Structure 1
Amino acid sequence: MLNIFAISGSLRAASTNSALLAALAQNAPAGCRVTLYDGLGRLPIFNPDDEGERTPPEAAALIEAVTAADGVIISCPEYAHGVPGGLKNALDWLVSRDAAVAKPAMLVHASPRSLYARAALSEIMRTMSFVLFEETALEIVLIGKKPPEMEAILTTAENRLAMRAAVQGFAASIRSRT
């Protein structure tokens, strides 16, 4: 069983990115478990002085989850042409650890307008030594939709198949590395 850890870069209750990741978890193929991270808003601001024995429990839990995962999936909105501060903060907690080194990662998108954030996030993650899986791109347009509309879009047969195929491709890539 592959353990895939999913992080939404949005803190909004009705986040399209979080909805996409939840649907991905529900449509994960056999042999894959997608676990959604819910601690982004509770992470303290990264401070290198708080690493090691002083690492806050919320940050330690994130580090342990990423370390234990076989792969990471991130869905992220774009704020002012960049990566939201909360997600960047979470990634900063991983920088001086081995959690990201050679860790397979995939980006999925809920908006076609997040081109700057996609580029910035890809650059950040490559710099951190994540191995980005880019063979299968998953973009399901949910921008501007309310929760009932998001659910209707995410439960179509076409989108369920697309989500399953994206995770299957990512899983195959992870398995081929071991």
Structure 2
Amino acid sequence: MTTVLTVSGSLRAGSTNSAALRTAGVVAPPAMTIRSFAGMGDLPHFNPDDDHDPLPPAVAGLREAIGAADALLLCTPEYAGALPGSFKNLLDWTIGGGEMYGKPVAWLNVSSSAAPTGGAGAHDSLRTVLGYAGSLIVEAACARIPLSRNHVGQDGLIADPAVREAISRSLTALAAVGTPDAR
């Protein structure tokens, strides 16, 4: 059984990033458990002086969730050509704990086709931060799946079969590396 932690880089209620990750929970292979981290908004501003035990509860929860996962699937928007500040803050809190080291990680890029750079700036920034964290980026599981808000149904999920299949392929590729026996 592979446990994948999903983390949305968006705090927006109607986020297509969050919808894609909720949909991942529905289309995941049977041997995969999807857990979502929803505490990004609760994290304090990162300060290296505070990166010691006892950790702020929200930070301890983040690190515990990452440590318990076999792999991570991220999905983030781009703001001002880079990662949103709240998501960068979350990633900053992961560096000192070491839970990300060697952890298989992939991301979905759901920027709409109208986005000027297609989210490339955010994903370049993400690649840099994950490199510092020592994460194992699973390129075969990273995917660009352009979405717009009208792809998201009333239930907060994406019903489009092609989108669901693309998300499922990403999860399958992540599981191939994220399964503890595969490492």
TM-score, normalisation: structure 2: 0.89
**Quick check: 2:109–2:144 contact (8 Å CA) kept in 1?**
yes
Match of 2:153 in 1: 148
The alignment status of 1:157 with 2:161, answered yes or no, reads yes
Alignment counterpart, residue 169 of structure 1, candidates 144, 155, 173: 173
CA shift digits 1:35-65 (9 cap, x unpaired): 1111000111111222222310000000011
Q: CA RMSD in A?
A: 1.9
Tell me which residue corresponds to 2:135. 130
Q: Which residue of 2 aligns with 1:48?
A: 48
Q: CA deviation at 1:155?
A: 1.4
Q: Distance in 1 between matches of 2:162 and 2:153?
A: 18
CA contact (8 A) 2:5 2:73 kept: yes
Give the match for residue 80 of structure 1: 80
**Aligned residue pairs: how many?**
177
Aligned to 1:52, the other structure's residue is in SS state: coil
Report deviation, 1:150: 9.4
Question: Would the alpha carbon gap of residues 150 and 139 (structure 1) be closer, same or farther in structure 2, given more than 3 Å must change?
Answer: farther
SS at match of 2:53: helix
Unmatched segments (≥5 aa) in structure 2: none
How far apart, CA to CA, are the structure 1 residues paired with 2:78 and 2:155? 18
Give how far 1:145 is off.
3.5
Instruction: Give the secondary structure class of the aligned counterpart of 1:79.
Output: coil
The sequence identity of aligned pairs, in percent, is: 32
TM-score by length of 1: 0.92
**SS of residue in 2 equivalent to 1:77:** coil
**SS of alignment partner, residue 158 of structure 1:** helix
Alignment of 1:12-27 (within 5 A): 12-27=12-27
Deviation at 1:126, TM superposition (A): 1.2
Residue aligned with 2:140, SS: coil
- For the 8 Å contact 1:14–1:146, the answer to whether it is kept is no
Question: 2: CA distance between counterparts of 1:107 and 1:20?
Answer: 11
Aligned to 1:114: 119
One-letter amino acid of the counterpart of residue 125, structure 1: L
C-alpha separation in 1, matches of 2:155 and 2:54: 41
